[in-house]
Amino acid sequence: MLELARLTKRYKQLYAVKGLNMFIEKGEIVGLLGPNGAGKSTAISMLSSLIEPTEGDVRFHGKSILKSPGELRKVTGIVPQEIALYPELSAEENLQFFGRIYQLKGKQLKQRIEEVLELIGLQEKRKEVVKKFSGGMKRRLNIGVALLHQPSLLIMDEPTVGIDPQSRSYILETVKRLNEEKGMTVLYTSHYMEEVEFLCDRIYIMDKGNLIAAGTKEEIKQILTSETTVLIKVEQLNEKFVQRLQAEPSIHQVSTGENEVTVIVPKEIPVFKLILNIAEHTDIELLSIEMKATTLEDVFLHLTGRALRD
Amino acid sequence: MIWRIIIKQCQVLLRNPMHLLLLFGLPLLLIVILGTALSGAMGEDVKDVQVKVAMINNDSPGLGLQQLVEEKDVSAQEFAKLQTAVKQYAIPSLLDHAGKANATLLTKIDDRAPQNKQAILQDDSYSALIEIPKNFTYDLLSYIYFDKGLPPGLQVYINEGLQFEANTILNLLNQIQERWTEEKLFLNKNIQLEPQYYKEMESIGQIESMNQRVVTSKGYYTIGMAVLNVLFIATTIGFYAFQEKRTHVFNRIILANVSRWTYFSAVFISGTLLGFIQLVVIFGFSWIVYGVSWPNISAFLIVTLLLSLAVGGLGMLLTAISYRNNSETITSFFSSVVIYVISLLGGSFYPIGDFSPLIEKIGDFTPNGAGMSVYLALLRGESLSSVANNLLFLVLFIIVTWFIAVISFPKRGEVL
Ligand SMILES: Nc1ncnc2c1ncn2[C@@H]1O[C@H](COP(=O)(O)OP(=O)(O)OP(=O)(O)O)[C@@H](O)[C@H]1O
Ligand SMILES: [Mg+2]
């Protein structure tokens, strides 16, 4: 349905997105993952016809949208990363305005506003000005606006940043429902692995403008089958311990938390013995050593050497 | 679609009580303060000019006309014309007219017999004594219609003690005499004067022959504050429009397949509309509260519309530049510095142009200054054609803002 071919955006020296190839089929939920500055929003702006790529093409049903984005725009709903609403207007007035610019009128507009308000659970708050909304409510309305014209393709750019867990799961459930009940195609951008794991069939992972992995959840996790993630909990973490772990050639990735360290090691090495040894030499009191199930987070760590979030 | 965006713009403004107050309340407050505080400074103490004039009429219009008819073999049609002329050019009626038509000039004309002349000259309450010569009507008509002789002279005695009033009268009389010559020129060129023309001449004559309407300090500051504050409509519109970019609402509008020119035009129209409303509110206020009224409403509305269009253009220009720079610095700079500078030059705070013709010139090259010049002229009772230059400048200003705005507004796919 939607295809991105060698899509590139360059700002002076910086490649915000570099040679991105991607496709989305009808009815899918596709995840686009990446840390801050990966180029997710830039990619979305290009594929939704908001900015022109430096190079490459976006094709919708086989036709390039670069010169005539009208068709795509008509059936696409965009949930921007920012709260793109009028803070002075009420939820209902916002919906009215955006509905009207999408050519909805009269009864139809009214009905759609009702449906959307119900979907995002803001019926009670319809008359309240957006300024007074909580972060979660604003996020939900931000999504609602994109749904007014009943798009068949929904593009969501980090729709859950900075909100409470309750609103977050509400949003995730809603997206899932829209996909299942209405057959809505969704491109979901996030830097929360668990959201993407929950929602998406296929996943693209970007970093620094480049696509670093793509495939189904399983395929991506396969990347790590030869390695294993180990979580080490300690009484009191010290610098020497971490340095020794990093210096150890058979240990691939070391990332630290509060009195815990995660390492990725090849499956075949005797990991317990190795860690016990290092702990002894660096005066570390070990609390536990556990092997973790592979997560996308680990994949990302493996691919980039960095955690997805700081 | 344009209207949707405009309505929403107004909705947003209505939800900002602070902005509303600044745009609509503050100017009224400023008019009250400045108008009251500076009324003395503007020479307003001379309120009504009371002019008492005595007139000794040695002429007999009927006899003069008859004499002319006998001498010149006048047709019936011409006779009627001459009759009208006699009435039109009678000094008392002209002066009387002037007095009635101008609220600030009260002429009181006392018709006196010739034998009272000495007594009148002793009477200090008269500003002037006008003595109309014996053959006034005959001479005047011969001069104008038959190109014979010289225009009749008027004997005017002036009361030195009432210099100002006397000068006013002298001015009026001078203008009346000039009119005779004008009239004659037209006839010599064989231009057939339509009756309608007489009417026009009469009305123009009224304005010219009268002392101009006096612009009060309240009137002055109404105009000054109106043309100053209407500029804030442009910056407010600019701020709102940039807010739409910052919050990415603009992107939503674009993604709804609304052309950016539609959006852009909506910005222009909103600015124009709000500017117009603001001006009408301000002038309405000063009309109701201070009785600052406009002799020519349609001319007033034309100027107000032009100025509003200039404001819309300015708002659109600020929007375009801030979109291009992705920063509202230009609008902030405009609202915090430029507006005050050009308002000072334009004379919003004080008739600064009176001190320096250069400043007056520069001031006329600002939209507010040009607007102010036009408004002042209209308030004085002048016609639009007398300020054609300022009007032309406003039109050019609107065109130029459009031009620059259009070339600087980001192209498709450049805005983010
Ligand atoms: N208009 C622009 N001009 C210059 N650089 C830009 C512009 N927009 C984005 N960038 C740069 O491009 C890179 C990618 O930015 P982008 O916003 O696409 O990242 P992202 O993956 O959406 O990040 P986040 O998770 O923080 O939203 C960043 O380094 C950013 O600084
Ligand atoms: Mg982003």
Domain with CATH 3.30.70.100 in chain A: 226-293
Going by C-alpha positions, the residue among B171, B168, B163, B162 that lies closest to residue B123 is B162
Helix ranges (H only) for B214-296 are: 217-246, 249-255, 260-290
Residues B233 and B194 in one domain: no
How many Å apart are CA A142 and CA B166, to the nearest integer?
Answer: 76
Can you name the residues that pair with A23 across neighbouring β-strands?
A: A3
**Residue in B1, B13, B14, B252 to test binding to A, most A beta-carbons within 10 Å:** B252
pLDDT reported for residue B416? 58
Indicate the DSSP class of residue A115: H
| Closest ligand 1 atom to A12 CA | 4
| B74 in any annotated domain | yes
In this structure, the dihedral spanned by the alpha carbons of residues B322, B324, B327 and B333, taken in order and rounded to 10 degrees, is -40
Distances from the Cα of B365 to the Cα of A111, B337, B359, angstroms? 53, 17, 10
What are the tokens at B199?
Answer: 């009417």
Residues B308 and B166 in one domain: no
pLDDT tens-place string over residues B222-273: 999 999 999 999 999 999 999 999 999 999 999 999 998 999 999 999 999 9
Residues B28 and B114 in one domain: no
Going by C-alpha positions, the residue among A37, A38, A65 that lies closest to residue A51 is A65
| B128 in any annotated domain | yes
pLDDT reported for residue B100? 55
Residues B324 and B273 in one domain: yes
Q: What is the pTM of this model?
A: 0.70
Confidence of residue A42 (pLDDT cuts 50, 70, 90): very high
Answer with the one of B143, B172, B203 that is the final residue of a domain: B203
How many Å apart are CA A166 and CA A174, to the nearest integer?
Answer: 12
Ligand 1 is surrounded, with C-beta below 6 A, by: A 11, 14, 16, 34, 36-42, 81, 191; B 416
| B7 in any annotated domain | yes
- Give the mean pLDDT of A123-137: 93
Confidence of residue A124 (pLDDT cuts 50, 70, 90): very high
pLDDT reported for residue B410? 83
Taking chain B (416 residues) in consecutive chunks of 10 residues, what is each chunk's mean pLDDT? 92 92 91 75 53 82 83 79 77 65 60 80 81 85 81 80 72 72 66 40 32 70 93 96 94 92 94 96 92 89 96 96 92 92 88 80 92 91 90 96 92 66
In this structure, the dihedral spanned by the alpha carbons of residues B115, B118, B121 and B125, taken in order and rounded to 10 degrees, is -70
How many Å apart are CA B282 and CA A250, to the nearest integer?
Answer: 80
Residue B414 is which amino acid? E
SS (H, E, C) B20-32: HHHHHHHHHHHHH
Range A2-219 has CATH code 3.40.50.300:
yes
**Residue in A11, A46, A72, A86 to test binding to B, most B beta-carbons within 10 Å:** A86
A14-24, strands of its sheet edge to edge: A14-24, A2-11, A55-60, A63-64
Determine, for residues B12 and A50 on separate chains, whether the beta-carbon distance falls below 8 Å.
Answer: no
ipTM score of complex: 0.80
Answer with the one of B203, B233, B254 that is the final residue of a domain: B203
Q: Between residues B152 and A208, which one has the greater pLDDT?
A: A208
Residues B89 and B29 in one domain: no
Of A6-15, A133-142, A228-237, B316-325, the range with the lowest mean pLDDT is A228-237
Residues B104 and B234 in one domain: no
Residues B7 and B87 in one domain: no
Of A35-39, A179-183, A293-297, B229-233, the range with the lowest mean pLDDT is A293-297
Domain of B172: which CATH number? 3.40.1710
Distances from the Cα of A64 to the Cα of A48, A59, B121, angstroms? 12, 4, 98
Determine, for residues B8 and A97 on separate chains, whether the beta-carbon distance falls below 8 Å.
Answer: yes
Residues B156 and B38 in one domain: no
A185-190, strands of its sheet edge to edge: A76-79, A153-157, A185-190, A29-33, A202-207, A210-216
Domains contained in chain B, number: 2
- Give the mean pLDDT of A243-272: 85
Residues B30 and B127 in one domain: no
| B401 in any annotated domain | yes
What are the tokens at A147?
Answer: 């749904």
Distances from the Cα of A276 to the Cα of A85, A255, B261, angstroms? 55, 18, 69
Question: Helix, strand, or coil here: B129?
Answer: strand
Going by C-alpha positions, the residue among A282, A185, A206, A164 that lies closest to residue A35 is A206
| B391 in any annotated domain | yes
The residue segments making up the domain with residue B266 are 2-42+216-415
Residue carrying structure tokens 């429902």:
A177
How many Å apart are CA A200 and CA B49, to the nearest integer?
Answer: 88
pLDDT reported for residue B228? 94
| B209 in any annotated domain | no
How many Å apart are CA B15 and CA B12, to the nearest integer?
Answer: 5
pLDDT at A27 over 60: yes
Domain with CATH 3.40.50.300 in chain A: 2-219
Answer with the one of B203, B231, B248 that is the final residue of a domain: B203
Task: Note the CATH number of domain A226-293.
Answer: 3.30.70.100
